[in-house]
């Protein structure tokens, strides 16, 4: 995204993203040795939450990596990473419950999740082509075609920003559902809940950071396009 000159916004966005990534990993590591008093694994907790919500058709599987956990609605599966699946830490249980929160959202038709799913095709196109289209517009300069391509590139990138924006309520709601379930089902209590919440909060901040980073990049693109127009 460093097209030319004035790297301030991009550098600021990079710093925010790096901090958020460091924070979630550091927070998870801080609590991955704090074990829950019931001795439940994250996989067991996930299975319990799914069954309690009547989601018997959704399986729980292991996936390689660290913090690569996700819910796949197409395959009806929650995949828990190596660092989470068999762990009995409050950190791992929080992550597993969060992914179950996404499964419940999908089951009840949570509106922001529907919106996010609807814009995925546009977002996928935008992520592949916005840069090429925008740079081609810069190459063509202040011509009608050049300005049009710059605008299309900006609009495609705006779709990415919108996707990240609608992702925020999806992620925060999933974490809220997770914490409520862990407390109401007496899976975690007291300090265990507090520590698990800190892990989920740190994870949520990565999405906030990604949005801020993209907004800064969008502002940079608009600034570049305007600067190019003034040089006509």
Q: Which residues contact 2 (CB under 8 A, 6 or more apart)?
A: 10
- 3-state DSSP call for residue 109? coil
Phi then psi for residue 41, to 5 deg, are -85, 160
Q: Where are the beta strands (DSSP E) in the chain?
A: 59-63, 70-72, 77-81
Strands of the sheet with 59-63, listed across from one edge: 59-63, 77-81, 70-72
- 3-state DSSP call for residue 185? coil
Q: Whole-angstrom Cα distance, residue 169 to residue 111? A: 10
Q: What is the 3-state secondary structure (H, E, C) of 37-71?
A: CCCCCHHHHHHHHHHHCCCCCCEEEEECCCCCCEE
| Nearest in space to 12 (alpha carbons), one of 167, 162, 220 | 220
Give catalytic residues, as residue numbers.
99
Q: Whole-angstrom Cα distance, residue 192 to residue 195? A: 5
């Amino acid at each position: 995204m460093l097209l030319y000159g004035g790297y301030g916004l991009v550098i600021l966005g990079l710093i925010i993203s790096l901090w958020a990534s460091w924070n979630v990993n550091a927070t998870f590591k801080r609590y991955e040795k704090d074990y829950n008093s019931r001795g439940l694994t994250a996989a067991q907790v996930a299975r319990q939450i799914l069954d309690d919500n009547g989601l018997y058709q959704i399986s729980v599987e292991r996936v390689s990596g660290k913090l690569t956990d996700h819910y796949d609605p197409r395959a009806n599966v929650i995949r828990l990473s190596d660092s989470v699946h068999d762990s009995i830490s409050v950190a791992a249980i929080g992550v597993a419950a969060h992914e179950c929160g996404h499964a419940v959202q999908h089951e009840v038709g949570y509106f922001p999740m529907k919106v996010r799913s609807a814009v995925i095709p546009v977002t996928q196109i935008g992520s592949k082509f916005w840069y090429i289209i925008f740079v081609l517009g810069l190459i063509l300069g202040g011509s009608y075609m050049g300005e049009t391509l710059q605008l299309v590139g900006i609009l495609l990138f705006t779709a990415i920003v919108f996707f990240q924006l609608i992702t925020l309520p999806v992620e925060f709601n999933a974490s809220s559902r997770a914490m409520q379930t862990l407390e109401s089902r007496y899976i975690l209590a007291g300090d265990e809940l507090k520590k698990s919440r800190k892990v989920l909060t740190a994870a949520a901040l990565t999405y906030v950071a990604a949005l801020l980073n993209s907004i800064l990049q969008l502002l940079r693109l608009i600034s570049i396009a305007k600067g190019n127009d003034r040089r006509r």
